[in-house]
């Protein structure tokens, strides 16, 4: 015993458990940061912006009516 402290294996076990919990906590925190930043950039439901782009392409004549209707149905599905 050094200096009268007789922790022995219990000290090592608790220290290892502490660091394992810290590492797991950091992993979950990083995961949470990654998913929360993606959710801010999510697209609106129903493809609102995509439908606007599709309408613009049809108006410019880049796609014909048949292709417009087909893609519109796919977006609304």
- Return d(Cα 55, Cα 43) in angstroms, integer: 18
* Cα–Cα distance list, 52 to 9, 12, 30, 42, 44 (Å): 66, 62, 35, 17, 12
* Cα–Cα distance list, 41 to 2, 24, 38, 50, 72 (Å): 57, 27, 5, 15, 23
Average pLDDT over residues 6-28: 89
Q: Is 54 helix (H, G, I), strand (E, B) or coil?
A: helix
Average pLDDT over residues 6-29: 89
pLDDT category, 49, cuts 50, 70, 90?
confident
Domain boundaries, given as residue ranges, for the chain: 44-77
Q: How many residues make up the chain in this entry?
A: 77
pTM assigned to the model: 0.43
pLDDT category, 6, cuts 50, 70, 90?
low
């Amino acid at each position: 015993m050094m200096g009268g402290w007789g922790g022995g294996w219990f000290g090592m076990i608790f220290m290892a458990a502490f660091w394992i919990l810290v590492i797991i906590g950091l992993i979950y925190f990083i995961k949470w940061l990654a998913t929360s930043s993606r959710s801010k950039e999510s697209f609106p439901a129903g493809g609102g912006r995509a439908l606007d782009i599709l309408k613009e392409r049809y108006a410019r004549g880049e796609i014909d009516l048949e292709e417009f209707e087909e893609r519109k149905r796919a977006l609304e599905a």
